[in-house]
Structure 1
Amino acid sequence: MATKFADETAPASSMAAKPVEMVSAKSIMSLSEAAALERRHAHESDYYAVILEDDANGGPLIRVRTSCYELDADRNIVFDEAGNKKLRNPHDVGLDVWAAYGADDHTLKMVMRGSQVVATPKSITQQIALAREAASA
């Protein structure tokens, strides 16, 4: 599993006499475990995780998971004309969840899709500024 080294606390003369034994590493996970991990990552990327900090209760982090796809009234995914799933804007999702939890008591930290950060307070502010510029032009 790991490389075994000679005793580093021993005197240099005795270290030279001890050969280093190499042990081959075994596979970290089997193919079925890797496939299960890949399915889990794919499933997680179907959701936005909105991370909020609870200011009222000393700051524990709150994670809210919501679908990253637009859903109809029956909670089925909505498709566009080309047959692609329609994604929700992560900035809008972050603002909606933040407002639902109470913007006065919570701080929006980030919106993630899978392991990727897709929105932060700074990017949301920039998008709002760009939308206002476009509306005034």
Structure 2
Amino acid sequence: MTLATLLATIFETYPAFSERRIAISGPDIAVESRAATPVALVFHELATNAMKYGALSNPEGRISLDLSTEDEMVRFRWREHGAHIDKASEPQTGFGSRLIELAVKQQLGGNYERTWHDDGVELVMDVRKSRLQEPS
């Protein structure tokens, strides 16, 4: 399986994907079945939150997901555009945030940083390529 296939499978249930409001770019990286679950959990959580509160909660919103590799790391950059962020209320962290933390740090051996912009959230996640792929 590859990341493009996995991500398309996750996002195909969201109307925004068929409307081309979720764009994926970058190299197509092989991913083993053991790593597919934490990757799927992270991106399902992000897409669900985008539908409820973020860029996908309105028809103009969109998401870009850029993949890149450097040395032994794979970078995922999730960026929402067009969300209507309420500056008066601080973003809440809950079960979904803990799920992302567990998946990224413990299961995929990586780190992430979340940044709130005026028009949506950006999450940059770096994970070890060796956690995504079986050793050759």
TM-score, normalising length from structure 2? 0.22
Higher relative contact order (CA 8 A, sep 6+): 2
TM-score, normalising length from structure 1? 0.21
Look at both structures and tell me which one has the larger radius of gyration over its CA atoms.
1
